[in-house]
């Protein structure tokens, strides 16, 4: 998924006419092939001029890998490209012909590739090609569904096993496949459900040589929940990458820019086996990979490593630390004296905002809402009370009781999706819904690096299942659910995330300013154009 997005970015560069820093070997080969094809199919030139605009759009979609096709993900690129295509078309009229030619060449290649694929998976293609008929008949858009939401599809599982096998070093499987645990509720059987009692390190050798030790440590900390929270996970990931880069040495006859990316791939697979990657982590990884591949080949290894370390430091500084400063500044404007602010769970950003506001002598009190089984609100409560803020603590079941007192709701986000939906800890959408019913303003605080190009309208399609044994509680020495697996009709479901529709969110405070929820795609577009 990250790869295809990355390629998309590159292709947008192409269509806007910016000169790429280097034409890689693949590009050169492709150009040569295109020239040959162009000579063969000169008569097709008449067709394209009508579908110029659509080709522009489609050319953006084309370079994504033509693997299995899935209609669901087509929706994601379309709104982005709808907006993306306007700027390139407006920007250069004279370059249109060249771009158009390139587009049609790519279209032809894709149809060939697609037809080859079609021979293997004929049924799928016909099904997905129908919704794609509208933008362009010659461009079957191919976006792969990520593996972690296709657990009940045996073909996808086989593919994952093969992928992990391919990442072999000296004929040893680097990343062991972690097996699912317990009965999964049927509505969520397409997601992984791991148990904390089967750690991912069971099959990894003890002096971790094949996977870097700091990555193993990180994976363990993720799976045990020691590092939880979107920002914390990203920072820890980047820290581990810094260690990896520090200890990396280029093998002979290899280029750092390509080899390091290949080295990182099995590590990322391992981490996603420990705990599915978050949107913020995905964006950070994309950024790092881009930086690595942009290192010029004549750069010395020490220099390259130093540059990468600096780049990681500046990413964290800009996107996390300074962003939270900026967001607090905006948010403090929204907090007035006498406010009663409701927060849910433990969001590092919201806690930071409230602490800053308290330091700036704003008079307010906070109501912390908490929910089982994580009970993260206790940690938020501790931090706020330590600062000196007056707090009340309730469980989410008392929400409608406490809401008449509340003047504002501040929520943190795990990710902001491209259609304006807010993905956050499970329970957030409930809070937003009830707050809307009571006409209490809901403000979501989110840094821009958590903005994701995915589109989701419900919490079922892509989510995370936590360890079901967390739901079991022991009171007075009795554990009633101890043998829940033996009861056939019982399933324990421990969801981690849910999505809140933009109608319930009044304002999103980002480091770029205060924007409505529906402006997220604009921000994404601006970000992509910058890159």
Partner 1 sequence: MELQAVLMAAGGGSRMMDLTYNTPKPLLPVGNRPLIWYPLNLLERVGFEEVIVITTKEVQKALSTDQRLKTDVKMRLDVVCIQEETDMGTADALRHIQQKIKTDILVVSCDLITDVALHEVVDLFRAHNATLSMLMSKVHEFTETVPGQKGKKKAGEQRDFVGMDVTGKRLLFMANEADLEEGLVLRKSIMHKHPRMLIKTGLLDAHLYCLKRSVVDFLVHNKSVTSIRGELVPYLVRKQFSKSLNSKNRMFGVHNKCTSKDEALLQLARERSCWNDHRGDMSEAYHGGKLRCYVHIMEEGMCYRVNMLAAYIEANRVVPKLFEDPPIHPTAVVSERSLVGSDSIIGPFCQISGKTSIKRSNVGTSSTIKEKVKITNSIIMNGVTIEEGCNIQGSVICNNAVIGRGADMKYCLVGSGQRIEPEGENDVVQRSAGYTTRTKTHTLQFCSSAVFVLNPAFCVCVCVHSHAHVCLFVCVILCVYVRFNVLIAY
Residues that bind partner 1 (CB under 8 A): 199, 201-202, 204-209, 213, 216-217, 220-221, 224-229, 231-233, 235-236, 238-239, 242-243, 246, 313, 316, 321, 345-346, 348, 376, 378-380, 382, 385-386
Q: What sign does the CA torsion over 164, 166, 172, 174 have?
A: negative
Among 197, 469, 441, which Cα is nearest to 342's? 441
* Spatial separation of the C-alpha atoms in residues 450 and 18, rounded to whole Å: 27
Q: How near is the Cβ of 377 to partner 1 at its closest, in Å?
A: 9
Contact indicator for 422, 385 with CB cutoff of 8 Å:
no
* Spatial separation of the C-alpha atoms in residues 389 and 380, rounded to whole Å: 11
Q: How near is the Cβ of 236 to partner 1 at its closest, in Å?
A: 4
What residues form DSSP beta bridges with 443? 410, 507
Beta strands in 356-427 (DSSP E): 364-370, 390-395, 408-412, 415-416, 422-425
Q: How near is the Cβ of 136 to partner 1 at its closest, in Å?
A: 44
* Spatial separation of the C-alpha atoms in residues 85 and 89, rounded to whole Å: 6
Nearer Cβ to partner 1, position 472 or 507?
Answer: 472
Task: Supply the DSSP string of 359-372, one letter for each residue.
Answer: HTT--EEEEEEE-T
Q: Is 510 helix (H, G, I), strand (E, B) or coil?
A: strand
Nearer Cβ to partner 1, position 217 or 286?
Answer: 217
Among 413, 445, 425, 440, which Cα is nearest to 504's? 440
* Spatial separation of the C-alpha atoms in residues 394 and 447, rounded to whole Å: 27
The torsion defined by the Cα of 104, 107, 112 and 115, in degrees rounded to 10, comes to -140
CA 192 and chain centroid, separation? 17
CA 504 and chain centroid, separation? 22
Q: Which residue has the tokens 């279209």?
A: 107
* Spatial separation of the C-alpha atoms in residues 225 and 216, rounded to whole Å: 14
Q: Interhelix angle for 256-274 vs 301-316, to 10°?
A: 40
Nearer Cβ to partner 1, position 26 or 302?
Answer: 302
DSSP H stretches of helix in 440-519: none
Q: How near is the Cβ of 209 to partner 1 at its closest, in Å?
A: 7
The DSSP letter of residue 398 is G
Contact indicator for 409, 443 with CB cutoff of 8 Å:
yes
Nearer Cβ to partner 1, position 348 or 485?
Answer: 348
Nearer Cβ to partner 1, position 118 or 213?
Answer: 213
């Amino acid at each position: 998924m990250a790869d295809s997005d990355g390629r998309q970015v590159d292709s947008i560069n192409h269509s806007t006419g910016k000169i790429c820093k280097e034409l890689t070997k693949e590009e050169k080969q492709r150009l040569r092939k295109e020239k040959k094809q162009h000579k063969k199919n000169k008569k097709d030139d008449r067709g394209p001029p009508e579908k110029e605009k659509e080709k522009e759009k489609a050319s953006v979609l084309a370079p994504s890998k033509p693997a299995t096709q899935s209609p669901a993900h087509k929706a994601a690129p379309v709104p982005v490209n709808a907006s993306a295509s306007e700027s390139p078309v407006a920007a250069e009229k004279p370059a249109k012909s060249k771009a158009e030619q390139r587009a049609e060449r790519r279209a032809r290649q894709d149809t060939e590739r697609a037809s080859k694929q079609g021979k293997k998976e004929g049924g799928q293609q016909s099904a997905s090609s129908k919704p794609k008929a509208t933008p362009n008949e010659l461009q079957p858009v191919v976006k792969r569904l990520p593996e972690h939401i296709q657990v009940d599809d045996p073909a996808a599982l086989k593919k994952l096993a093969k992928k992990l096998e391919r990442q072999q070093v000296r004929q040893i499987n680097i990343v062991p496949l972690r097996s699912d645990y317990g009965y999964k509720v049927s509505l969520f059987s397409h997601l992984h459900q791991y148990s904390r009692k089967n750690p991912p390190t069971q099959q990894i050798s003890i002096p971790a040589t094949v996977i870097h030790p700091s990555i193993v440590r990180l994976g363990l900390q993720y799976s045990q929940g020691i590092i939880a929270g979107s920002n914390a996970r990203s920072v820890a990931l980047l820290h581990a990458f810094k260690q990896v880069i520090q200890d990396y040495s280029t093998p002979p006859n290899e280029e750092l820019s390509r080899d390091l990316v290949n080295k990182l791939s099995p590590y990322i697979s391992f981490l996603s086996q420990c705990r599915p990657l978050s949107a913020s982590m995905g964006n950070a990884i994309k950024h790092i990979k881009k930086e690595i591949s942009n290192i010029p080949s004549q750069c010395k290894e020490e220099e390259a490593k130093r540059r990468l370390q600096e780049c990681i430091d500046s990413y964290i500084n800009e996107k996390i630390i300074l962003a939270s400063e900026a967001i607090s500044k905006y948010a403090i404007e929204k907090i007035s004296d006498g406010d009663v602010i409701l927060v849910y769970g433990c969001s590092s950003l919201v806690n930071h905002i409230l602490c800053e506001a308290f330091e700036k002598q704003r008079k307010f009190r906070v109501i912390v809402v908490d929910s089982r089984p994580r009970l993260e609100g206790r940690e938020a409560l501790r931090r706020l009370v330590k600062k000196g803020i007056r707090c009340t603590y309730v469980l989410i079941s008392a929400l409608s009781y406490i809401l008449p007192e509340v003047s504002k709701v501040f929520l943190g986000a795990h990710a902001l999706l491209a259609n304006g939906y807010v993905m956050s800890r499970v329970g957030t959408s409930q809070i937003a819904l009830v707050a809307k019913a009571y006409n209490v303003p809901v403000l979501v605080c989110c840094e821009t690096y958590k903005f994701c190009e995915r589109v989701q309208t419900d919490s079922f399609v892509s989510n995370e299942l936590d360890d079901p044994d967390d739901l079991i509680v022991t009171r007075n020495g009795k554990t009633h659910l101890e043998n829940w697996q033996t009861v056939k009709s019982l399933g324990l479901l421990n969801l981690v995330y849910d999505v809140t529709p933009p109608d319930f969110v009044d304002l999103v405070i980002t480091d770029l300013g205060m924007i409505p929820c529906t402006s997220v795609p604009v921000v994404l577009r601006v970000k992509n154009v910058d890159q």
